[in-house]
Structure 1
Amino acid sequence: MKKYELTAEFIEKLGKKLFRIKALISFGSVEAGELGGYVEKEDNLAQDGDAWVCGNAWVYDNARVYGNARVYGNARVYGNARVCGNARVYDNARVYGNAWVCGNARVYDNARVYGNAWVYDNAWVCGNAWVCGNAWVCGNAWVCGNARVCGNAWVCGNARVCGNADYLLIGRIGSRFSFTTFFKNKDKGITVSCGCFLGTIAEFRAKVTDTHGNNKHAKMYNLAADMAELQILGEEHFDKLNTNKSEPF
């Protein structure tokens, strides 16, 4: 049995007809007969599960909302985007391109998630923040304010990225010629995501020494860590951290 139907009420946007939906049965917090938001076609919203689109939200193109996800407020989900799991997309948020928002993630305010970006686990993206490119935001991470997390950045764990100075993506470096992401955490320190490694910047330096000694790769990683401390913690903190630090070369 279908849980909703497309009504005759529609709006036109960019040459597309988006139809208001109506619940046929009660499910989750939705009552039978309740009107929802707008979709272009049934493929946009799963007929199974408790997923729902409501308010003035739009879902169109090849985008899909399924699982127990909710899209509401003035949110827009389009392109090939996916919103699933227990994810919530609301307010004036936009999710598009090939982006995925899943798990218990929240995307709201004026946030944008697009490109090939993934936001999942318990991550929040809000304010005027953008997550784009091949970026991943996961764990208990927050990306907010006017932050732009993009490229191949991985922001995870207990990250608190609220501005562009709160993270640094450097690559391609190291023996694997890959990308390393440094970002501010909830303790106002720096966490590092590099390949399979995730830990504090002090743990990162120790791991670099253990793995590479004082070779070229170690020197490049340590220079990257120095840059991250300078950008994320600021000049005063950087100088204090380096007062007793021996020269990297």
Structure 2
Amino acid sequence: MKKYELTSETKVFLGKTLYRIKALVQFGNVNAGDLGGWIEKEENLSQSGNARVSGNAEVYGNAEVSGNARVSGNAEVCKIGTVFWIGAIGSRNGTTTFFRCKDGKIYVSCGCFLGDLEEFSDKVKQTHGDNEHGRVYMLAIEMAKARIVEEKNEVH
């Protein structure tokens, strides 16, 4: 028995079409008809157990939510390849995360920025130019390129 279905409500995130889900039956504290979060395909969320995706949470790629797992709020779940993380960087001494997704591109999460490596590089140049923060971010980009090598047979 199916516990949820994909609705026709969609959004595009990192080049992927995600579908809002809707509960078909009552399970856990979810009622039939409740709208849930966003998934790319049915394989991202198990039809059995109490697993659920709610709020603005997004699940895509090869990630799967199953058992009694719950993804909620603004969470994002993507099975990805190599991750490169660097801290104490930028004007806020924050963290920046570089990762390769299934589409083969390297993406960057830095503060409120989320985009691919080229977009990040452009944003750094626009925001910081050639100041100390700009130079350090550009070095981090080069480090990420060196550390996140393309996986030969499968990019997660």
Structure 1, gaps ≥5 residues long: 1-27, 30-48, 53-64, 70-83, 96-100, 105-118, 127-135, 144-160, 235-249
Residue number in structure 2 paired with 1:231? 147
The residue identity in structure 1 corresponding to 2:101 is: N
Instruction: Specify whether residues 86 and 220 from structure 1 end up closer, same or farther in structure 2 by C-alpha distance, changes over 3 A only.
Output: closer
- CA distance, structure 2, for counterparts of residue 190 and residue 198 of structure 1: 11
Name which of 109, 120, 129 aligns with 1:193. 109
Greater length-normalized contact order (CA 8 Å, ≥ 6 residues apart) = 2
Name which of 75, 84, 87 aligns with 1:171. 87
Residue number in structure 2 paired with 1:121? 58
Name which of 46, 66, 71 aligns with 2:29. 66
TM-score, length-scaled by structure 1: 0.36
Instruction: Specify whether residues 103 and 120 from structure 1 end up closer, same or farther in structure 2 by C-alpha distance, changes over 3 A only.
Output: same
- CA distance, structure 2, for counterparts of residue 213 and residue 175 of structure 1: 13
1:142 aligns with 2:58: no
What SS does the aligned partner of 1:125 have?
Answer: coil
1:85 aligns with 2:36: yes
Task: For residue 90 of structure 1, report the CA deviation from its aligned partner.
Answer: 7.6
What SS does the aligned partner of 2:103 have?
Answer: coil
Provide Cα deviations, 1:143-197, integer angstroms capped at 9, x if missing partner: 1xxxxxxxxxxxxxxxxx14xxx21121121001111111112321211111121
Contact 1:66 1:85 in 2 (8 A): no
Contact 1:172 1:179 in 2 (8 A): yes
Structure 2, gaps ≥5 residues long: 4-23, 39-44, 65-73, 151-156
What SS does the aligned partner of 2:98 have?
Answer: strand
TM-score, length-scaled by structure 2: 0.55
Residue number in structure 1 paired with 2:42? none
Aligned residue pairs total 111
Contact 2:37 2:58 in 1 (8 A): no
* Aligned alpha-carbon RMSD (Å): 3.6
Provide Cα deviations, 1:205-224, integer angstroms capped at 9, x if missing partner: 11111111111111111111
Instruction: Specify whether residues 180 and 86 from structure 1 end up closer, same or farther in structure 2 by C-alpha distance, changes over 3 A only.
Output: closer
Task: For residue 66 of structure 1, report the CA deviation from its aligned partner.
Answer: 2.5
